[in-house]
Amino acid sequence: MLEVNDLLAKVDFGDGTVREALVAAPEELSMGDVVLVHAGTIISKLSREEFMESFRYYRDIAVQIAVQAGVPEKRARREVNRSLKGLLDRKVKG
Amino acid sequence: MPRGSRDLYDEVEAYYRHNSAAARQILSTIARLSDEVRKGNAGRPVRIMNFCGTHEWTTTHYGIRSLIPKGVELISGPGCPVCVTPASYVDLCIKLSLEGVRVYTYGDAFKLPTTRRVKGARSLEEAKSLGGDVAVVYSFLDAMKDAKSSSKKGVFLGIGFETTMPSYSEPIDRKVVPKNLFLLSALRLTPPAATFALEKVGKVDGVIAPGHVSVITGASAWAAIADELHIPTVISGFEPIDVLISIAGLLRQMANGEHKVEIEYKRAVSWKGNERAMSTMHRVFETVDSAWRGIGIIPRSGLELREEHSAQDAKKEFGLAEEEADSWRDDLPKRCRCGEVTLGLIKPTECSLFLRACNPERPYGPCMVSSEGTCAVWARYGGGGLADRVAAEVGVNL
């Protein structure tokens, strides 16, 4: 996001397009935030902290199956992470 | 251009889209879980339903039905707001546009066919070609800017689910909408429609809940489906890896005998949602029973402007015939089975008009018009088993 006031923000859509959008997000917004825009309205900020959470959620599922099949949990976690090519160790840029 | 936004977009692409290593790993988990679940249910197919046109787009575009085991069926449920907008709203807009009122509409609603011609036009696109004043806009904000400079009376065809709702409610609540611009609210709510569909469509074992509707409503909006209908529910993002992870999550719940709401789309969805948007919604709109095109009246599934905002209400300003409970029966063009497709009762391929009289270039029914309509998605991206047929022809084992 490039600029923000109480009502409107200027948002860079990442492909060279810059458009105004209404602010309707619950969080305080600042320049540099990455936001979710729908029909010209900012509905949320995208969370960098939780960016990889989907893969943690998935890891729990895969580890549960492995443990139920008799694999020790620590080994199961290592193997799932290896098969995801170390995704969960990556830091999110930006 | 700030690096931040491009980097995060690249991360989404790399991790959640073009990530074949993750896809293979997740698919093997899905295969193992589906074997386990089907052992426990006498081999009956596992039926998972989505409630978002964009989820159906991802599912079809990425060939997900061809990648998961055949015993896991993905059903497309009501997830397209343009598809379910009653024809009478389009009729009113066509009429107004030809009477000197500027009608603002989204691009897909521009082509939305009504059921009977109004002053010779079957859609706003046809009305425009007959001289009607129709402006295609990206947002209500764009319409506000145009209305301010034109000073003409204008009507915005306010289609949308909860995700679109703040684009109307925020400016109305803040009283920044020009006095000459009126909202024709065709807003519909997704959880009531989901409950309605789930009661009609036979046994459903899991729900992929819409990601961006849930950004607004919060994951809690789906608790009734999990707690009262006992159906596992996962709120999913829109990338193919998101959908695969969500399917794995649903299968895990089934294998464990659980039925709860889980969030896969953690980077955007929280349990409580956008409380600001929800409280603005309640200040500006009231929840009412409303008509869904080709389906009928669904209780507490629509939003109408409250009395204190009647100055902005197109229904008060221009009048809109109140739908009789039975009017929905005549609300689709003859032989169009959009209502059944939308509810997930039939697939597009079971409609005799699909890809014959009704196709993306000449859409006959609403589900073929909108980019979120199941028929349009299947027509454009090879739904109905095209990936399987192509794979068989080129000798690839799916």
Which residues, including other chains, have CB under 8 Å from residue B376's CB and lie 6 or more apart?
Answer: B360, B363, B367, B368, B369, B370
Please state the ipTM of this predicted complex. Answer: 0.90
A61 contact B CB<8A: yes
Q: B319 to each of B38, B96, B313, how far by Cα in Å?
A: 54, 11, 10
Q: What is the pLDDT of residues A59-75, one digit of tens each?
A: 999 999 999 989 999 99
The domain locations on chain B are: 19-78+191-263, 87-187+275-330
Task: Please state the domain count of chain A.
Answer: 2
Question: What CATH number is associated with residue A19?
Answer: 2.30.30
- Residue B261 three-state SS: strand
pLDDT of residue B323: 63
Contact A38 B163 (CB under 8 A): yes
Same domain, residue pair A39 and A65: no
Task: Give me the domain span that covers residue A23.
Answer: 3-45
Beta-ladder partners of A38: A41
Contact A51 B8 (CB under 8 A): yes
Q: How many CB atoms lie within 10 A of CB A37?
A: 20
Same domain, residue pair A36 and A60: no
Q: How far is B329 from chain A (nearest CA, A)?
A: 31
Question: For residue A94, is it within any domain?
Answer: no
Q: Is B87-187+275-330 in the same CATH topology as B19-78+191-263?
A: yes
Q: pLDDT averaged over chain A?
A: 86
Nearest Cβ partner of A58 from B166, B245, B274? B245
Same domain, residue pair A40 and A70: no
Nearest Cβ partner of A24 from B15, B33, B170? B170
**How many distinct helices (H) and strands (E) make up chain A?**
2, 5
Architecture in CATH of B87-187+275-330:
3-Layer(aba) Sandwich (3.40)
Contact A25 B242 (CB under 8 A): no
Same domain, residue pair A59 and A85: yes
Q: What is the pLDDT along chain B (398 residues), one digit of tens a residue?
A: 344 455 777 788 888 999 998 999 999 999 999 999 999 888 899 999 999 999 999 999 999 999 999 999 999 999 999 999 999 999 999 999 999 999 999 999 999 999 989 999 999 999 999 999 999 999 999 999 999 999 899 999 999 999 999 999 999 999 999 999 999 999 999 999 999 999 999 999 999 999 999 999 999 999 999 999 999 999 999 999 999 999 999 999 999 999 999 999 999 999 999 999 999 999 999 999 999 999 999 999 999 999 999 999 999 999 886 666 667 767 899 999 999 999 999 999 999 999 999 999 989 999 999 889 999 999 999 887 777 788 788 887 66
Among B57, B9, B62, which residue's Cα sits nearest to residue A51? Answer: B9
DSSP code per residue over B80-139: -TTTTS-HHHHHHHHHHHTTTPEEEE-HHHHT---SS-BTTBSSHHHHHHTT--EEE-S-
Q: How far is B33 from chain A (nearest CA, A)?
A: 8
Please state whether A14 falls in left (phi above 0), alpha (psi between -120 and 50) or beta.
left
Same domain, residue pair A7 and A40: yes
Is residue B47 within 8 Å of residue B76, measured between CB atoms?
no
Among B210, B157, B212, B166, which residue's Cα sits nearest to residue B186? Answer: B157
Nearest Cβ partner of A53 from B139, B266, B274? B266
Superfamily of domain B19-78+191-263: HypD, alpha/beta domain 1 (3.40.50.11750)
Q: How far is B330 from chain A (nearest CA, A)?
A: 31
Same domain, residue pair A70 and A41: no
